């Protein structure tokens, strides 16, 4: 199951309401993040028949265009966004109807970059074994490469065995986006992983746990399906379930991973030893550490004496921001949404 309903606001102005991040090509492959995610997952299961996507009703037609081979009945369109807990719950209910409660389901964000695809597949096979044999909700923990304050962390508890050659641990706790000092302590301890937002479980296990921890939400969804969305809380699967359940287990993984959360992720992905990341015609004098993007290949970005900036040209919008302030793009989105003359830029 691919979760493809996000907005990707921190990639504005390239990411817009009708063209969110998962529809964009940001990794140099020429394919959208959604398409790359689907291709990666087709190595598992029975191809397109076993691949599902959940998205918003506003983006459903775009998903169909992006993934024309996806069976129509495998696309679930949420009438409105309510974060990831309702998405996981509704799709768990629907997959149980088709496959039964012993089916093993994996949930994957549509907008992540993953290196070493063969290692990724082996890890997921191990996670499926863990989910089946231990009645566990398996999550993949990414080995931290630096002390990030922008990611959630998973602390490893007791080791419960080896699955597919990978050690698995009980989850001791989840921690959301720690401060710098705490993040450094986590990484130094060797007991923490980044929360990659990937979950694998037997569908019956998750349905039981959701009924225990968010009974009102489950009662509404099981009675009304998507028609219940207007009465559901906006809550993530982490808060609704993963931080409460005793069945959470973590498989630390070694493949390269990035959640491509904002423009700086493009720098991490493509910078290498180059002075700048140039996804545009860029003429720079005394400019370094920059990320430059233009949607129109005929446009030219010229810079003089700049360092550590992001410049994005798309349509009638130019974004110029210091790399260490890209998180504040969300504040710009809010300002634009409050101005009737500027709403069309979203």
> What are the residues whose beta carbons fall under 8 Å from the beta carbon of 120, sequence distance 6 or more?
40, 114, 253, 255
| CA dist 2 → 18, 37, 40, 91 (Å) | 18, 8, 11, 10
Is the pLDDT at 28 greater than 70? The verdict is no
Banded model confidence at residue 145, pLDDT cuts 50, 70, 90: confident
- Give CA–CA dist 4/38, Å, rounded: 11
- Two tokens, residue 36: 């790359």
**Of 143, 142, 169, 144, nearest to 248 (Cα)?**
169
Considering only 10-19, 91-100, 124-133, which range has the smallest mean pLDDT?
Answer: 10-19
Residues 181-236: pLDDT tens digits?
999 999 999 999 999 899 999 999 999 999 999 999 999 999 999 999 999 999 99
The pLDDT value recorded for residue 307 is 97
Is the pLDDT at 251 greater than 90? The verdict is yes
What does DSSP say about strands 153-163 and 166-175: parallel, antiparallel, or unpaired? antiparallel
| Burial (Cβ within 10 Å: 0-12, 13-18, ≥19) of residue 218 | buried
Q: Does residue 294 contact residue 279 with C-beta atoms inside 8 Å?
A: yes
Residues 257-266: pLDDT tens digits?
888 888 998 8
* DSSP per residue, 293-340: EESSTT-EEEEES-BSEEEEEETTEEEEEEGGGGGGHHHHHHHHHT-T
Residues 270-318: pLDDT tens digits?
878 899 999 899 999 999 999 999 989 899 999 999 999 999 999 899 9
Q: Does residue 311 contact residue 318 with C-beta atoms inside 8 Å?
A: yes
CA atoms in the 13 A half-sphere facing the CB of 273: 0
For residue 50, which phi and psi values (nearest 5 degrees)? -100, 5
Q: What is the mean pLDDT of residues 26-47?
A: 87
Is the pLDDT at 45 greater than 80? The verdict is no
Residues 130-141: pLDDT tens digits?
999 999 999 999
Is the pLDDT at 63 greater than 80? The verdict is yes
The pLDDT value recorded for residue 154 is 94
* DSSP per residue, 80-109: S---HHHHHHHHHHHHHHHH-TT-EEEEEE
Chain centroid to CA 30: how far?
A: 19
Q: Does residue 249 contact residue 171 with C-beta atoms inside 8 Å?
A: yes
Average pLDDT value over all residues in the chain: 92
Q: Does residue 12 contact residue 61 with C-beta atoms inside 8 Å?
A: no
């Amino acid at each position: 199951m691919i979760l493809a309903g996000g907005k990707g606001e921190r990639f504005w102005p390239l990411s817009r309401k009708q063209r969110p991040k998962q529809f964009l090509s940001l990794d140099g492959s020429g394919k959208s993040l959604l398409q790359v995610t689907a291709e990666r997952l087709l190595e598992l299961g029975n191809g397109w028949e076993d691949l599902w996507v959940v998205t918003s009703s506003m983006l459903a037609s775009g998903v169909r265009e992006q993934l024309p081979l996806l069976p129509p009945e495998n696309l679930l369109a949420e009438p409105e966004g309510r974060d990831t807990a309702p998405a996981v719950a509704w799709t768990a209910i629907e997959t149980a109807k088709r496959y039964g409660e012993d089916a093993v389901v994996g949930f994957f964000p549509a907008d992540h970059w993953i290196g070493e695809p063969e290692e990724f597949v082996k890890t997921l096979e191990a996670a499926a074994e863990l989910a089946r044999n231990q009645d566990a909700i398996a999550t993949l923990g990414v080995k931290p490469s630096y002390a990030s304050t922008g990611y959630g962390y998973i602390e490893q508890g007791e080791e419960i065995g080896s699955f597919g050659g990978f050690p698995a641990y009980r989850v001791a706790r989840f921690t959301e986006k720690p401060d710098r000092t705490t993040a450094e302590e986590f990484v130094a301890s060797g007991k923490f992983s980044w929360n990659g937002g990937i979950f694998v479980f037997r569908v019956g296990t998750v349905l039981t746990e959701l009924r225990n921890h968010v009974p009102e939400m489950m009662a509404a969804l099981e009675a009304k399906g998507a028609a219940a969305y207007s009465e559901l809380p906006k809550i993530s699967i982490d808060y609704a379930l993963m931080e409460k359940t005793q069945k959470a287990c973590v498989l630390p993984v070694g493949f390269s991973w990035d959640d491509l959360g904002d423009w700086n992720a493009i720098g991490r992905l493509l910078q290498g030893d180059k002075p700048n990341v140039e996804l545009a015609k860029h003429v720079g004098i005394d400019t370094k550490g920059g990320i430059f993007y233009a949607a129109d290949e005929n446009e030219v970005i010229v810079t003089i004496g700049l360092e550590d900036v992001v410049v994005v040209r798309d349509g009638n919008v130019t974004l110029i921001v210091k790399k260490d302030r890209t998180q504040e793009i969300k504040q710009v989105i809010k300002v634009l949404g409050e101005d009737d003359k500027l709403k069309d830029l979203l």
